[in-house]
A = this chain, B = another copy of it.
């Protein structure tokens, strides 16, 4: 009963998941942001089956998130490097990391901390409004119909 694709669902979250929502993929992206580039390094760090890793990397390359750069053309070996579209996923990854640290692992159990190179402090990321700079949460925004609003399912129910 597992839906195999959200390709036909006109929703940015569904479309994002179509590219990065497969099992393992967020951990591959985590390592790509750490600077991992080589197939063997991903495989070793993740303990993932090679055929599954190859499949996930292919999806990310097709989705424009990673690009293959040959480093040993004679042997057909590639680095997998984040594209601009891939680097734009950083807010997703950092939000997942922060939620997992705060709400699942708990304070003191963080395996990795992010340090802001600008101010030197451990980073707690806050989502802010790009227009006025105020801090945002679910209650400070409301959903309105976008330019491609469907007539039905993707809008909030009446009165919500």
Interface residues of A (CB under 8 A from B): 1-3, 6, 9-19, 21, 23-24, 26-27, 30, 33-36, 41, 44-49, 51-52, 64, 85, 87-105, 108-119, 121, 123-134, 136-138, 140-150, 153-157, 159-160
Could you tell me the distance between the alpha carbons of A101 and B147 in the complex, rounded to whole angstroms?
A: 11
In the complex, the answer to whether B15 meets A100 with C-beta atoms within 8 Å is yes
Residues of B within 8 A of A105 (CB): 10, 12, 15, 148
In the complex, the answer to whether B35 meets A113 with C-beta atoms within 8 Å is no
Q: Among the listed B27, B127, B141, which residue makes an inter-chain contact with A126, where contact means beta carbons less than 8 Å apart?
A: B127
- Known contacts: A1-B51, A23-B21, A96-B12. The answer to whether A125 contacts B115 by CB under 8 A is no
Could you tell me the distance between the alpha carbons of A16 and B143 in the complex, rounded to whole angstroms?
A: 25
Return the chain B residue nearest A47 by Cβ: B153
Residues of B within 8 A of A90 (CB): 127, 137-138
Residues of B within 8 A of A101 (CB): 12
In the complex, the answer to whether B149 meets A111 with C-beta atoms within 8 Å is yes
Return the chain B residue nearest A35 by Cβ: B160
Whole-angstrom distance from the CB of A39 to the nearest CB of chain B?
Answer: 14
Residues of B within 8 A of A137 (CB): 87, 90
Could you tell me the distance between the alpha carbons of A63 and B67 in the complex, rounded to whole angstroms?
A: 35
Could you tell me the distance between the alpha carbons of A129 and B114 in the complex, rounded to whole angstroms?
A: 11
- Known contacts: A91-B127, A157-B41. The answer to whether A10 contacts B111 by CB under 8 A is yes
